[in-house]
A and B are shown apart, each in its own frame.
Chain A
Amino acid sequence: MRRGRILFSLFLIAVAAYAVYSASAWSFKAALFPLSVSIPLIALTAAQLLLDLFGKAETANGPSVELEFGADVAPDVARRRVIDIFLWIIGFILLVFFLGFPIAVPLFILSYLRLQSRESWWRSVSLTAIAWGFFYGVFERLIHLRFEEGWIQAWLGM
């Protein structure tokens, strides 16, 4: 966790430093606000970094208003599941990019239910049909959202 915090602080410092570097080339009007935000951001994050590197270990005894992840799963299992779900999300985005929403939605839901959730074929297919019906009925027919065609359809000139 400590190493993660240090890396995250370094990431924030890099983002803010990039902002300062970019803003230095802009006019005063354009640079004023980004500079007045990113310079204190560097200072605060550097302070946090120094505290993480050289300060005492933090004790969680103060007020917090953030969510906390469940801690009742073994760390290696949790790590694998985190990677899995992010890969599924990336897969969904790639499906949408290549095939467009109308095809990606049923394909993704069916694959997830069969391969990840290990549901029966019957349940997977019926849930996919319901979800697709909802998607089509609400987003396409009722709200008339326009979905971009996929890269493959565009490439094939469909």
Chain B
Amino acid sequence: MFEALIDGLFLVLQWKAFTLMLVGMGLGFMVGLLPGIGGPATLALMLPFVFKMSPAEAFAFLLGMHAVAATTGDITSVLFGVPGEGLSAAVVVDGHPMAKRGEAGRALGAALMSSLLGALIGAVALALAIPIVRPLVLTFGSPELFMLSILGISCITSLSGLGARGQIRGFAMGLLGLLFSTIGQERQAGSLRFDMGLMYLWDGLDLVPVLVGIFAIPEIVDLAVRGTAIAGDRQPENLQAGVVEGVKDTFRHFWLVFRCSAVGVFVGIMPGAGGGVAQWMAYAHSVQSAKDARDRERFGKGDVRGVLGPGAANNSKEGGELIPTVAFGVPGSGAMAILLGAFMIMGLLPGPEMLTKHLAVTYSMVWTLVIANVIAVVLCLFILNQLAKVTYIKGGLIIPVVLLLVFVGSYTANGQIADLIVTFLFGLLGYFMVLLGWPRPPFVLGFVLGKLIETYLFISVSRYGFSWLTHPIVIILIMLTALVIAYPFIQEHRQRSGRPVHA
């Protein structure tokens, strides 16, 4: 096994594989920065180019690109409040307020360093977990995956509002997200729902215009209303010191980063759950790790822990997602499904062979994740000074450029003008949600998970009737969900009675 580990490293360090990884990283860097253009779409576009490559070269190219896109997506999220990647939306919630407060350097330092640590933890998990993960994955059927998704939504809704009344709004927004996810052709019976006679809605609403609209438009409106730069009228911060502070923050909250990375790996392992869930669950965990209700109030207003959690989970989930993909040929996400295509092109069969005959290739993937992330983060740390200066440019100059990125990014979803209209409408919805205190994160998570939840529910009911509710793991997950919902109330109650609470 050790020999295979070393062989895997040498496979990546061969000049051709290494050069291809650097090319992939360059592409991933740009894709991550541009809002809306997702890593999976780029993976799919690049798939035809791997035909003439060896397996190690192909995976160095594709994984190098994929790993870096997840990291650099955080940069756009922090600087502009526009999720660079669909998976970077949770970083916006605290990262962008930090940039507005003149702490862009610190937020970026924290995002990048936590991403690096997350990626390393994910890679180590991949290296260690392959032999032991089979029973875990096989234990999770549709009922368990359904409850896991419900737990994910509960995590974020339970901490999305101000007091008990805010909880109602949080859950209502989660339900609204689920409702919007049902638009389009229903998967089981094939009937059309809420299509309003528009062919555009037959496939349902695409995630990109919805996400970009709901997060980016309110930020642009805020920038226009304030009439200042993103960082306001503050004097430019000492960026280098800010970045160093962000890096230090990562180690100051190392155990939080570690736990959130573990969340990312776990969610990544679960087929279909994907990074959209991992980042929000990690964010929810960061918030729930606050000492008390007062400490929790800092989240959403620029708390560095709100950047560290999702930043780490976003990258650790890459290693997690590779585990079922490599070991069983069960892709953990859309991107991994495309990567599975690369396996087929290479003539590799995911499964036992990848753990025996092609173990060195499997470990070359681990090394690619490690090396690509280290190079990307070191490079980013060098250019952060220049990137963070963007937050001090006058809003009037930034707005048209950000609008261009937002709408071109949305347009990539289906290549139709309707994508722009959807972006605008969800931007309007997002603006009123922020203005009136209705939280957006539960809506987004509900929307992301809606189709999966419906499918899992349908399979669970069809296969087990209602007896799936008595499955042991389902019961544990139900109890965990109840605990997550009750936790803010318990915390508030204990605080009122004067006892300190630690998560």
Which residue numbers of A lie inside 8 Å of B, CB to CB?
A: 1, 4-5, 8, 12, 15-16, 19, 22-23, 26-27, 29-30, 32-34, 37-38, 40-41, 44-45, 47-48, 51, 55, 58-70, 72-73, 78, 81-82, 84-86, 88-90, 92-93, 96-97, 101, 105, 108-109, 112-113, 116-119, 127, 131, 135, 138-139, 143, 145-148
Top 3 closest pairs, chain A to chain B, by CB: A117-B396, A62-B163, A63-B296
Contact at B191–A93, with CB atoms within 8 Å?
no
How far apart are the CA atoms of A113 and B306 in the complex, in Å? 35
When distances are taken between beta carbons in the complex, the residues of chain B under 8 Å from A84 are 224
Contact at B162–A64, with CB atoms within 8 Å?
yes
Contact at B162–A61, with CB atoms within 8 Å?
yes
> Given contacts A29-B188, A84-B224, could you give 4 more A-B pairs where the C-beta distance is less than 8 Å?
A59-B163, A67-B219, A72-B226, A109-B400
A-B contact pairs, 18 of them (CB 8 A): A8-B436, A12-B176, A19-B179, A30-B193, A34-B179, A38-B175, A41-B175, A59-B163, A65-B159, A65-B287, A67-B300, A73-B225, A92-B403, A96-B417, A96-B420, A117-B399, A131-B401, A147-B411
Q: How far is the CB of B294 from chain A (nearest CB, A)?
A: 9
Contact at B162–A138, with CB atoms within 8 Å?
no
When distances are taken between beta carbons in the complex, the residues of chain A under 8 Å from B404 are 105, 108-109, 131, 135
How far apart are the CA atoms of A40 and B178 in the complex, in Å? 12
Q: How far is the CB of B43 from chain A (nearest CB, A)?
A: 14
Contact at A89–B424, with CB atoms within 8 Å?
yes
Interface mask (B215-226 → A, CB under 8 Å = 1, otherwise 0):
001111110111
How far apart are the CA atoms of A127 and B360 in the complex, in Å? 50
When distances are taken between beta carbons in the complex, the residues of chain A under 8 Å from B186 are 29-30
When distances are taken between beta carbons in the complex, the residues of chain B under 8 Å from A101 are 408, 411
Contact at B407–A66, with CB atoms within 8 Å?
no
Q: How far is the CB of B306 from chain A (nearest CB, A)?
A: 7
Contact at B400–A12, with CB atoms within 8 Å?
no
How far apart are the CA atoms of A93 and B410 in the complex, in Å? 12
How far apart are the CA atoms of A2 and B248 in the complex, in Å? 43
Contact at A5–B221, with CB atoms within 8 Å?
no
Tell whether B486 is near chain A: CB-to-CB under 8 Å: no
How far apart are the CA atoms of A136 and B396 in the complex, in Å? 22
Residue of B nearest to A47 (CB): B168
Contact at B193–A34, with CB atoms within 8 Å?
yes
When distances are taken between beta carbons in the complex, the residues of chain B under 8 Å from A61 are 162-163
When distances are taken between beta carbons in the complex, the residues of chain B under 8 Å from A139 are 408
Tell whether B199 is near chain A: CB-to-CB under 8 Å: no
Contact at B415–A64, with CB atoms within 8 Å?
no
Residue count of chain B within 8 Å CB distance of chain A: 88
When distances are taken between beta carbons in the complex, the residues of chain A under 8 Å from B97 are 67
Tell whether B427 is near chain A: CB-to-CB under 8 Å: yes
Contact at B218–A63, with CB atoms within 8 Å?
no
Tell whether B457 is near chain A: CB-to-CB under 8 Å: yes
Given contacts A16-B179, A30-B186, contact A86 B492 (CB under 8 A): no
Tell whether B440 is near chain A: CB-to-CB under 8 Å: yes
Contact at B162–A62, with CB atoms within 8 Å?
yes
Given contacts A19-B179, A58-B163, A138-B34, contact A113 B400 (CB under 8 A): yes
Contact at A5–B401, with CB atoms within 8 Å?
no
Q: How far is the CB of A93 from chain B (nearest CB, A)?
A: 5
Residue of A nearest to B196 (CB): A22
Given contacts A109-B401, A135-B408, A138-B30, contact A33 B300 (CB under 8 A): no
How far apart are the CA atoms of A81 and B34 in the complex, in Å? 27
When distances are taken between beta carbons in the complex, the residues of chain A under 8 Å from B189 are 27, 29-30
Contact at A81–B435, with CB atoms within 8 Å?
no
Residue of A nearest to B415 (CB): A146
Contact at A65–B441, with CB atoms within 8 Å?
yes
Given contacts A19-B194, A138-B30, contact A62 B225 (CB under 8 A): no
Residue of A nearest to B194 (CB): A22
How far apart are the CA atoms of A32 and B441 in the complex, in Å? 25
Tell whether B299 is near chain A: CB-to-CB under 8 Å: yes
Contact at B188–A113, with CB atoms within 8 Å?
no
Q: Which chain B residues (284-324) contact chain A, with CB distance < 8 Å? A: 287, 290, 293, 296-297, 299-301, 306
CB within 8 A of A66: which of B191, B300, B427?
B300
Residue of B nearest to A1 (CB): B436
CB within 8 A of A44: which of B164, B172, B440?
B172
Q: How far is the CB of B99 from chain A (nearest CB, A)?
A: 12
Tell whether B344 is near chain A: CB-to-CB under 8 Å: no
Contact at B178–A37, with CB atoms within 8 Å?
yes
When distances are taken between beta carbons in the complex, the residues of chain A under 8 Å from B168 are 44, 47-48, 51
